[in-house]
A and B are shown apart, each in its own frame.
Chain A
Amino acid sequence: MLDFLKLPVQKFQDFILLGFSAATNVFRSPHYSDDVFLQMDAIGVGSLPIVMMIGFVSGVIMAMQMARALQTYGAEGEVGKIVSVALVRELGPLLTALLVAGRNSSGIASEIGSMRVTEQIDAMRALGTDPIQKLVTPRLIATAFVLPLLTVIADFIGLIGGFLIARYLLDIPTSQYWTSAWQILEYNDLAQGLIKPFVFAIIIAMVGCFYGLRTTGGTQGVGKATTTAVVVADIWIFVFTALIGRIFLYFA
């Protein structure tokens, strides 16, 4: 009766097992540090321009749209608070993660998927290398390291975007904007803003690797793996942003 559940449950179990062995490999030799740095460059530096852009745009939009609403209460001076809280808590981590998922979950899935269908993964195992250690763990470490950094950068650029609107469109003094933006933030917000990207990074790297390693059916399969990876990563990011947000509300 519950046969229809068998496949997804088994898939989830495989995913957890892969995540577990990728995580334990972090503490086991051999360490492929070259690959870690290579991935940091590809995922971190490579995503920087687009992440900065989305950060800036969201800061600008937030300040512009909120100013109108705040004006009805004569409170447009508080715009810094809104930009700051929304970006650091929610939008910065979420938008950055969605972008990096689109860029790198797909990239990881297609790269590993191509290796899979051209038997490079089998070759690796035949020639004495654990593909999880060589391919998955470096991507996991690299993403977990760079995504929080990217998020911080996106948050900051977003605040600058908000500032430009506040200063030149709303005539709010520089010090008022930055002081209100800074003072509203609590440790709770900062923790939330840094834990989220860390969790999202694990999702992005592991989902990309998982679908890459499961690729079958030639180049068509690679395309399918790539698309699925992005969609699944995005869904999990949405689920976890709600979940983590809820947990922090509880502690707030």
Chain B
Amino acid sequence: MSPKPAVLRLEDVSLFFGDTAGLDHVNFELRAGETRVLFGEAGAGKTTLLKVALGLLKPDSGKVYLFGQDIGGMTEQELFDVRARVGILFQEGGLFDSLTIAENVAYPLLNQRVLLAEAAANGGTQRPVEERVQEALNFVELGQTLEKVPSELSGGMRRRVGIARAVVTGPALLLYDSPTAGLDPITANTIIALLLKEREIRNTATVMVTHRYLDGHLMANFRYNPSSGKMERASRGQSEAATVKFCVMKNGLLLFEGTEAELQAAQDPYVRKFLRHGSS
């Protein structure tokens, strides 16, 4: 069986902020249907990697391929069209304060040129924006918050709106930047359940940045059961472990890449630190 096409590929990418390395000769590849869990201390370059992948930051050297296209030489306008196929959840949520929740979730549908062009080409067959927004918010179980503004919601709820905004376009690649950071364990698990639910339904290629080992462990070993609406341990046959890989970053270097078993067997004390976090 031929391997699935690469959704995102970084070739020897470096980016320096002054003397500090954001990314230091990073090679990274993600294929359709795969999940990468990215660990690392604060300032290790995790967020930088996501932003470089999306063309929000331009690398000093190296090449970035998104859906097979080299985004290095693209203008901002051309990048918009590529980014339309990517959903991203920002660490700080990145919700627009001045817009309601419904307007926030509708934003990509109403502002992405490609999506607007597609909608126009499909004529009346495309479902109305309101319906898709409602569906995305129902997906994150916030269907009743349409008219609220972000400041009225709790941190966990804002994160969920962020997820709704990321998935509303039906993207081919999802980037989650610290989806559970700063949340209590129960809310954090709810968020991970949503990510599993998304994967269960659409099987989108995903990069998740996190500090919690548990997040990665859940992604690798659990699945969402649509009938019960809960997370459950994936049985051996349907284990996600094969498609979920773990990466560890340190000072812009991609220090480790491998399966959960390989991560657990790793000897590097820095890498092991993230395992200890999980057991604590």
Contact = CB atoms under 8 A, between A and B. Distances in A.
A120 B108 contact: no
A127 B88 CA distance: 9
Contacts of B115: 128
Interface stretch (B92-100, B131-139, B207-215): B92-100
Contact of B86 (A115, A119, A126): A126
B230 interface: no
B184 interface: no
B51 interface: yes
Contacts of A123: 88, 90, 94-96
A125 interface: yes
B112 A127 contact: yes
Interface in B22-48: none
Contacts of B80: 128, 130
A119 B94 contact: yes
B88 A120 contact: no
Contact of B90 (A119, A128, A129): A119
Interface residues of A, number: 15
A118 interface: yes
Chain B interface bracket (under 10, 10 to 19, 20 to 34, 35 or more): 20 to 34
Interface in A81-134: 114-115, 117-120, 122-130
A124 B93 CA distance: 12
Contacts of B91: 119
Given A128-B83, A128-B84, A130-B76, A122 B111 contact: no
B54 interface: yes
A224 to B, nearest CB: 18
B107 interface: yes
A126 B97 contact: no
B56 interface: yes
A119 B107 contact: no
B113 interface: yes
A98 B165 CA distance: 41
B113 A126 contact: no
Nearest to A125: B56
A128 B56 CA distance: 12
Contacts of A119: 90-94
Interface string B66-85: 00000000001101100110
Contact of A127 (B77, B97, B107): B107
A251 B107 CA distance: 52
A127 B80 CA distance: 7
Interface of A: 114-115, 117-120, 122-130
The 6 closest A-B CB pairs, nearest first, are A123-B94, A128-B112, A119-B94, A119-B90, A128-B111, A127-B108
28 contacts: A118-B92, A119-B93, A120-B94, A120-B95, A120-B96, A120-B97, A122-B51, A122-B90, A123-B96, A124-B96, A125-B56, A125-B83, A126-B56, A126-B83, A126-B86, A126-B88, A126-B94, A127-B83, A127-B108, A127-B111, A128-B83, A128-B112, A128-B113, A128-B115, A129-B107, A130-B76, A130-B77, A130-B80
Given A118-B92, A123-B94, A127-B111, 5 more contacts: A119-B91, A123-B96, A126-B86, A128-B111, A129-B107
